[in-house]
Homo-oligomer: A and B are copies of this chain.
Amino acid sequence: MAIELKRYEHNPIVTPADVPPSSPDLEVIGAFNAGAALVGDEIVLLLRVAERPISADSRRVGIPRVDLSETGGHIEVEWVDRDVPELDLSDPRGILYKGRQYLSSVSHLRVARSRDGFHFAIDPKPTVVPSTPYEVYGVEDPRITPIDGAYYVSYTAVSPMGVCVPLLRTTDFVHFERLGVIFPPENKNVVLFPDRSSGRYAAFHRPAGSAFGSTPDIWLAYSPDLLHWGDHRRLMGTRAGMWDAGRIGGGAVPIETPKGWLAIYHAAVGSRYCLGTVLLDREAPHRVLGRSVDPIMTPIEPYERAGFFGSVVFTCGAVRRSDDEVLVYYGAGDSTLGVAMTSVSELLETVEPVSALTAA
C-alpha cells in the first residue's frame, strides 16, 4: 500500500536558530538527523548539529578545526585571509588550505528532551564532540538503541582517514563511555537492533559501493557482544528504475513486531532522499520478508526541499510511544528536524512480500 506519512502540523520542530552554537565564532547551519529514544517518560534526541565559522569579515575565511588536545576535544576556528594563494574554496563542501583538506562545517551531537515528543528543550552545550583522530571532520547521524537498560549510540565519524562508525554507551545521556570503532572505513548508517536474534545481536551497515561500480547496499552483521562484528551479509540492494535506485542505507532502529523486525530505511536517487520500509525475519534478520514498493515519505514540504544539496527526508530514529503509535524523527532538507506520526500497523501495511530475488 502506498502512503505518505502524516507530518506534525508545526514542523519543523527544531531549526538551527533553536540551537546555541558551541562557540561565538560559529553559527549553526543544521540541526537535523537525530537519533531518538524513549527514556523513562521522556523522548531524548541526539541532534546532529552542523556548525560553520561566522562570516563576519568578507576578507577572511574561517576554517573549522577540531582540537583534540583537551579532554573531549572542541571545535575552533582558524581565520585566513581570503586572498592567500594556499586557499582553495572551489568546492562548497570543503576547504583546501596549505595542501590539507577541511570541511566547511563540522558536526557534533546535542541532547534535546521532550515529554510530548513535539516540543524539545535543547541543551545549551554540545553533548558529544569530536574527540578522537577518527572524528576531526565531525560526528554525524547518530542512532540510539536501547539494550538491557543502557543506550548504545552508533554514529558516523569523519576524518581524513575516512568515514567509520564508533560506538558509545550511556545510561543518562550525560556520561558516555567510548567503546571504540566498530565498523572501519568506508562505512556509515550503522543501526543496532534492540534485541538478539537467535542469540546474536544484529546491525545494519552500509559499506561504500564497490570498485566494480555497484551501488551502495545495506549489509547485515552479527555480534555476540555489540563490540565485535562478523558474519557480514549483503542484505538488500537498490532497485533499478525505482525511488531507491541510487543508494540505500539503514535509518531508524528496527521495531519488533509479531511479523518480524520492521525497519525504516532511506534511499536516494541523485540527491533526492526518501524513506521506505523493510520487514526482516525475527530470528534470522538477514532474511528479507518484505519491502515497500513505494516510499512511505518523500520530500514534499517546503522545508524538506530547501536543502543545499537536494530534497531530503532522512531518519535516524523512530520512537514507539505506545503499543501501536510511532513517531518518526527525520532530518528535513539537511537543515531542520521534523516529526511524522504513524503506527506499527500502518507501517506493516506498506510492506509487500518479496521474493528473495526481487529483494536482492
Contacts and interface: CB of A to CB of B under 8 A. Distances in A.
A223 interface: yes
A214 interface: yes
Nearest to A212: B160
B224 A163 contact: no
A149 interface: no
Interface in A162-204: 162-164, 180-187
A347 to B, nearest CB: 28
B230 A180 contact: yes
A57 interface: no
Contact of A185 (B137, B182, B207): B207
Contacts of A221: 184
Most buried by B among A181, A209, A225: A181
Interface stretch (A106-114, A231-239, A324-332): A231-239
Nearest to A101: B212
A92 B53 CA distance: 48
**Interface extent on A, as a size class?**
35 or more
Number of copies: 2
Contacts of A180: 230-233
Interface in A122-154: 133-134, 137
A91 B229 CA distance: 36
Contacts of A232: 164, 180-184
A176 to B, nearest CB: 17
Given A101-B212, A180-B232, A186-B208, 18 more contacts: A134-B234, A160-B212, A161-B214, A162-B209, A162-B214, A163-B211, A180-B233, A181-B230, A181-B232, A182-B232, A183-B232, A184-B187, A184-B219, A186-B186, A224-B225, A228-B229, A229-B229, A229-B230
A304 interface: no
Nearest to A201: B228
Nearest to A200: B228
A229 B227 CA distance: 8
A230 B192 CA distance: 14
B185 A231 contact: no
A131 to B, nearest CB: 15
Given A184-B207, A205-B184, A162 B212 contact: yes
A230 B231 contact: no
Contacts of A234: 133-134, 161
A164 B214 CA distance: 14
A213 interface: yes
12 contacts: A133-B234, A134-B234, A159-B212, A160-B214, A162-B212, A163-B211, A180-B231, A181-B230, A181-B232, A185-B207, A228-B228, A229-B229
A58 interface: no
A80 to B, nearest CB: 19
